[in-house]
């Protein structure tokens, strides 16, 4: 008797589930195998130069993950002294397991914000010159996040970034941008990533999310900053050996995949609009700027874990966020408009079952 294979689930848990393209796999197969941490690798050198050029910075550094890129940036800017200023729901505070204090040895000040954007007046009140005063520790670094994960992929306005940058210059405090989905932010704004990065001393972005490379993040900044960051990368165990194949995939990711991210934004909007038609309390489509859809299930008959289980039973993988209230759905290149229709059918059936 012939066995029929089950269809592959539609996976909306994250854009990190993206698989490398055929072009990436071919580039990986023919890549160099130099020891990047010892003698250097030519493919890694090409990737770092490409990332720096796109961001309008002098130099770049290839790291295994975005979390490590943020940690290395914080270490390189601060030398493990001072206070970090960042919005209270930033990824570094909510999802990076306390590396600020445990590994970077810093105080931090969470700032109130709106949709991931720190309140400028609160930032202006909190910032002070670097160093240690009689009663206060000085500001060592300002960190911004765009797109903002907890805020459902919201993009920081360039006007706010410019104002923060000007404030930082007045107080001689550097700015780091956690730009894990930096290319999504640039796509939403209709600008190059360098336009965003001009308002920061350093910026990182992930290759392994919507850009579809299998592994890696880039950190970009001045040549002097990146040289210091290389030392901290070794300290935290991020040195790379035969990294050429991973870098080759990263080059293709930057050169080929950034231009298609608008498709993911369109499917996210389609998803949000479809869910709002099922129940307007689930999501406000006007708040969808990029490829993340935060769904509030508090008013639905099922909690977030029941949604996660019920959708999985219907061939759709989603992520529960919070104890009962939220789901996070992230679109990417493996999710087209037809797949969104399947997701909406599954949600409709689940709502009917829960209401019954």
Share of the chain above pLDDT 90, in %: 84
- Does residue 61 contact residue 48 with C-beta atoms inside 8 Å? yes
Q: Using CA atoms, how far apart are residues 106 and 168, in angstroms rounded to an integer?
A: 18
Q: Which two tokens stand for residue 331?
A: 């679109």
pLDDT for the residue 324: 64
Terminal Cα distance for the chain, rounded: 38
Least confident segment among 6-15, 216-225, 264-273 = 6-15
pLDDT tens-digit series, residues 275-295: 999 999 999 999 999 999 999
Q: Using CA atoms, how far apart are residues 297 and 303, in angstroms rounded to an integer?
A: 6
Q: Using CA atoms, how far apart are residues 82 and 90, in angstroms rounded to an integer?
A: 19
Q: Using CA atoms, how far apart are residues 207 and 249, in angstroms rounded to an integer?
A: 9
pLDDT for the residue 36: 79
Establish whether the linkage from the previous residue to 147 is cis, with ω within 30° of 0.
yes
Instruction: Write down the pTM of the prediction.
Output: 0.94
pLDDT for the residue 354: 64
Residue 221 pLDDT more than 80?
yes
pLDDT for the residue 227: 97
Residue 38 pLDDT more than 60?
yes
Domains defined along the chain, listed by start: 17-257 (3.40.640.10), 260-355 (3.90.1150.10)
Q: How confident is the model at residue 1 (pLDDT cuts 50, 70, 90)?
A: very low
Beta strands in 72-190 (DSSP E): 83-87, 107-111, 113-114, 117-118, 139-145, 175-178
pLDDT for the residue 356: 46
pLDDT for the residue 130: 76
> Beta partners for 294?
328
Write down the mean pLDDT value for the chain.
Answer: 93
Q: Using CA atoms, how far apart are residues 243 and 2, in angstroms rounded to an integer?
A: 43
Q: Using CA atoms, how far apart are residues 172 and 49, in angstroms rounded to an integer?
A: 27
Q: Which two tokens stand for residue 32?
A: 């160099």
Q: Using CA atoms, how far apart are residues 73 and 219, in angstroms rounded to an integer?
A: 8
pLDDT tens-digit series, residues 75-85: 999 998 899 99
Q: How confident is the model at residue 323 (pLDDT cuts 50, 70, 90)?
A: low
């Amino acid at each position: 008797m012939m066995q029929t294979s089950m269809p592959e689930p539609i996976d909306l848990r994250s854009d990190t589930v993206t698989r490398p393209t055929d072009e990436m796999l071919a580039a990986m197969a023919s890549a160099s195998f130099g020891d990047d941490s010892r003698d250097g690798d030519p493919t890694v050198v090409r990737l770092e130069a490409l990332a720096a050029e796109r961001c309008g910075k002098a130099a770049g550094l290839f790291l295994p993950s975005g979390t490590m890129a943020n940690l290395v940036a914080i270490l390189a800017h601060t030398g493990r002294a001072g206070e970090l200023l960042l919005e209270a729901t930033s990824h570094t505070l909510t999802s990076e397991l306390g590396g600020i204090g445990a590994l970077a040895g810093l105080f931090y000040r969470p700032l109130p914000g709106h949709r991931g954007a720190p309140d400028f007046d609160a930032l202006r009140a909190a910032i002070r010159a670097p160093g240690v005063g009689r009663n206060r520790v000085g500001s060592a670094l300002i960190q911004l996040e765009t797109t903002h994960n907890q805020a459902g992929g919201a993009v920081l306005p360039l006007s706010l970034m410019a104002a923060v940058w000007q404030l930082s210059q007045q107080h001689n405090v550097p700015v780091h941008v956690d730009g894990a989905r930096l290319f999504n932010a640039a796509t939403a704004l209709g600008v190059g990533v360098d336009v965003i990065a001009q308002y920061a001393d350093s910026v990182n972005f992930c290759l392994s999310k919507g850009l579809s490379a299998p592994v890696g993040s880039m950190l970009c900044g001045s040549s002097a900053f990146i040289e210091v960051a290389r030392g901290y990368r070794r300290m935290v165990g991020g040195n790379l050996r035969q990294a050429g194949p991973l870098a080759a995939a990263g080059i293709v990711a930057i050169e080929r995949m950034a231009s298609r991210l608008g498709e993911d934004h369109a499917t996210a909007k389609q998803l949000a609009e479809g869910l709002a038609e099922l129940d307007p309390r689930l999501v406000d489509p006007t708040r969808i700027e990029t490829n993340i859809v935060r769904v509030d299930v508090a008013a639905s008959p099922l909690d977030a874990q029941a949604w996660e289980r019920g959708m999985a039973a219907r061939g759709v993988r989603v992520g529960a966020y919070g104890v009962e209230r939220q789901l996070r759905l992230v679109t990417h290149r493996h999710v087209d408009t037809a797949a969104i229709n399947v997701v909406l059918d599954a949600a409709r059936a689940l709502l009917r079952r829960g209401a019954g």
